[in-house]
Amino acid sequence: MIDLEVPKKFVPLVRQAGSLADEVFRPISRKYDLAEHEYPRELDLTSALIDGLSDSGASQGAGARGSTNAGASEKPAGVGAGRREKKEQGNKNGANLSSVLSVMQTCRGDVGLTLSIPRQGLGNAAIAAVANDEQKERYGNRWAAMAITEPDMGSDSGAIRTTAVKDGDEYVLNGEKIFVTAGERAELVVVWATLDRDLGKKAIKSFVVERSNPGLKLARLEHKLGIRASDTAAFSLQDCRVPAQDLLGDPEIRTEGGFGGAMQTFDNTRPLVAAMACGLARGCLDLITEKLAEVGVEPDHDAPLHRQPAAAARLVELEAEFEAAYLLTLRAAWMADNGHPNSMEASMAKAKAGRTCVEISLACVELAGASGYAETELFEKWARDSKILDIFEGTQQIQLLVVARRLLGLTSAQLK
């Protein structure tokens, strides 16, 4: 079963990621928040460091990685439904857990900069989730963004209107995509499109599109509340021709569970987003603990809350919320590494961590007083950055729907 201690083999990775947050990301965090859309050149060195660690076997990378998870399905499942029996080889701490632990550390420094590390995009998780071995080999060392959301689509991934029409050995894609993280900077964009609008979500597939493809046109870069170091793009696809071999996974339209392969992407990325939220929350808590200690306010974890200063009591409450989010995130990643279906747990982690991150960041702004609202500290920036972690990769409300469906054993049609 899961061990709550950081595995020994990941300790060097966690330390290096922590140093990256403290020594590289935090010093330039404000700079690239103000210089929105400017590429952080310091990240080229970071990328080279990650490549070196990966080549040496010391690291699985700092971003989205693959999964042994076989569990995404649109079929209803109750508590524990679809679970595999415990494997004979015992516990495995693999790429998912290492990615989650390293992302937590780098996001103590800056979430936007973490999302801007080359070749660590969310699209890489989509490739890892559903690509065949040949595709994984071909795209394994390239930076991939992920394009799902469309205008007027809302949070329903099954309502995608972008079309993919087979034409000989190619697919022709037409449509619009918005809110594509690292869309301008990435080398590849994983585009979700439907093979047949009349068949709904069953016909939705994902395609790897070269960023240089003339049919993939950058419409604009968004100006955002937070994570400004990370570019967020909108694209139009106009007769965008993609080789048939770049369709990820099974090209056939399945009447049962056909959407599961595409949705398995979220089982990989939602624990990562939860880890980002945990990292940002940890950064807030560490800094506010330090600031309160400077004025003589330190929590006593052995004393009742009502006998402590209000600020100390509030800090204890926030630490408890953080621990809950942290443990849920570790569980979701550990399950993926050990081959257990984790759709419900990934949504639990993402829902709890996203909400907790927002609560902690805003509470720390309040606890810091005037400095919490000023640009002299990072509290106000972290508060702005936090909200997106409760929204992207599925909003808070969508996560709660996923969890409810799994617990109650209902389909999406039965519980909307």
Q: Which residues contact 368 (CB under 8 A, 6 or more apart)?
A: 288, 291, 377, 379
Q: In whole angstroms, what is the distance from residue 260 CA to residue 242 CA? A: 22
φ/ψ of residue 271, rounded to 5: -60, -35
Cβ count within 10 A of residue 184: 16
Q: In whole angstroms, what is the distance from residue 407 CA to residue 76 CA? A: 9
| Parallel/antiparallel/unpaired status of strands 232-243 and 216-221 | antiparallel
Structure tokens at 367: 């606890």
Angle, vertex CA 308, rays to CA 304 and CA 313, nearest 5:
80
Q: Which residues contact 103 (CB under 8 A, 6 or more apart)?
A: 17, 62, 63, 114, 272, 275, 276, 279
393: annotated active-site residue: yes
Contacts made by residues 44-52, CB under 8 angstroms, sequence distance 24+: 44/118, 46/20, 46/117, 47/117, 47/118, 47/119, 47/120, 49/16, 49/20, 50/117, 50/119, 50/120, 51/119
Q: In whole angstroms, what is the distance from residue 6 CA to residue 101 CA? A: 8
Residue with tokens 């949705």: 263
Structure tokens at 384: 């702005």
Q: In whole angstroms, what is the distance from residue 229 CA to residue 109 CA? A: 12
Q: Please provide the distance, in angstroms rounded to a whole number, between the alpha carbons at the two ends of the chain.
A: 34
Q: In whole angstroms, what is the distance from residue 162 CA to residue 141 CA? A: 27
Name 233's bridge partners. Answer: 180, 221
Q: Which residues contact 354 (CB under 8 A, 6 or more apart)?
A: 273, 274, 277, 389, 390, 391, 396, 399
Q: Which residues contact 253 (CB under 8 A, 6 or more apart)?
A: 195, 196, 199, 202, 203
Q: In whole angstroms, what is the distance from residue 244 CA to residue 208 CA? A: 10
By annotation, the residues acting in catalysis are 393
